[in-house]
Amino acid sequence: MSSAKKGNMGRGEWLLLLAAFIWGMAFVAQSIGARYIGAFTFQCTRNFLGCLPLIPFILFRRKQLQPEVLLHRRSAVYRKELILGSIATGAALTVAAVMQQMGIGMTTVGKSGFITSLYIIFVPVLGIFIGRKTPGKIWLSIGLATIGFYLMNVVANMGKETGGGPLIGTGEWLLLACAVWFAVQILVIDHFVKTVDAVELACGEFLVSGLLSLLPMLVLERPSMGDLRAALLPILYAGLMSSGVAYTLQTVGQREARPENASLLMSLESVFSLLGGILILQQIPGPWEFAGCALVFTGVILAQR
């Protein structure tokens, strides 16, 4: 066992904690970006940028490969599988990320982070439909998360003026749907990483997602240069840091961190999103929202144990 795995917080754990922090703060960037540009525009520009940090990382890793492995990576069979995987994961990512971006623009950053984190629970649930065994504890996780979702949305809004509208808003429903689609994306990735490199797949996934978002961006949203300039910093952060740098940190960190620590640390993404919303955007949750977030977080952690 390496020294990184002996201590409570080795290098792998610190890298994963940093990745979770970057992802959590990305919710703040997405919220700010939603003020200026549409969801397809944000995702198109973000995903094209997300490819850039991964390219040198991929080239560096290829130089470390054994000759026979490198020869396989250059084969037609490998390229075909990589292209198919990139298209499948890129399509799932586009649906999930556009729903998420729309939802973030309609609700708070903290809620967005915790509702999105429900994909961790949806993965084993959807796995049932493809013949995977689901541990009994997942139903307890679902129960806790459902109560948490109810508290942070329905109960928290009962004392507020909703103008006769629904207690659960469109943004929250979009985020719940995005969590389902992120679970689909995870299952598709899990299928293809058995035959292709995970980082190369991620790079192809971001490229495909950017291309799929391009036409809706041009036809439906038609962003102006002024809008793009106003959203430049959020786009740069979400693209380069969240999609590119944080994914690289996750890839390296998971190789060195203990599995039980890795799942917990990456789940802190939702906690960092809540803190970012409070400290940067002054979005202070009420007591019921805090309670709901706590129950959702508990359900998510339980689902990974």
**What is the model's pLDDT at position 3?**
40
Sorted by sequence, the CB contacts under 8 Å of residue 147 that are 6+ apart come out as 292, 295
Share of the chain above pLDDT 70, in %: 94
Please give the pLDDT value at position 174: 97
Task: Give the tens place of pLDDT for each residue, 175-190.
Answer: 999 999 999 999 999 8
C-alpha separations of 100 from 14, 110, 111, 116, 155 in Å: 27, 13, 11, 8, 23
**Which tens digit of pLDDT belongs to each residue from 38-47?**
999 999 999 9
- Which pLDDT score, from 0 to 100, does residue 159 have? 64
pLDDT at 162 over 60: no
Give the whole-angstrom CA distance, residue 47 versus residue 44.
Answer: 5
Whole-number pLDDT of residue 260: 67
Q: What's the pLDDT tens digit per position in 81-123? A: 999 999 999 999 999 999 999 999 999 999 999 999 999 999 8
> Over pLDDT 90: what percentage of the chain?
66
Q: Which of 27, 187, 11 is nearest to 93 (CA)?
A: 187
- Measure the CA–CA gap between 21 and 147, rounded to whole angstroms: 26
- 1 pLDDT band, cuts 50/70/90, is very low
* pLDDT, average across residues 223-231: 95
Q: Could you tell me which of 120, 169, 134 has the C-alpha nearest to residue 297?
A: 120
> Would you state the pLDDT for residue 273?
96
Position 42 scores a pLDDT of 97
pLDDT tens digits for 231-277? 999 999 999 999 888 888 887 887 777 776 777 888 899 999 999 99
- Range 138-162 average pLDDT: 86
How far apart are the C-alpha atoms of 68 and 64, rounded to whole Å? 12
| pLDDT surpasses 70 at 157 | yes
| 160 or 3, higher pLDDT | 160
pLDDT for the residue numbered 119: 92
Domain boundaries, the chain: 21-304
| Residue 9 confidence (pLDDT) | 73
What is the pLDDT at residue 5? 43
pTM: 0.90
Q: Which pLDDT score, from 0 to 100, does residue 161 have? A: 59
Does the structure show a pLDDT above 90 at 64?
no
More confident residue, 222 or 61: 222
Instruction: Give the pLDDT band (50/70/90) at residue 131.
Output: confident
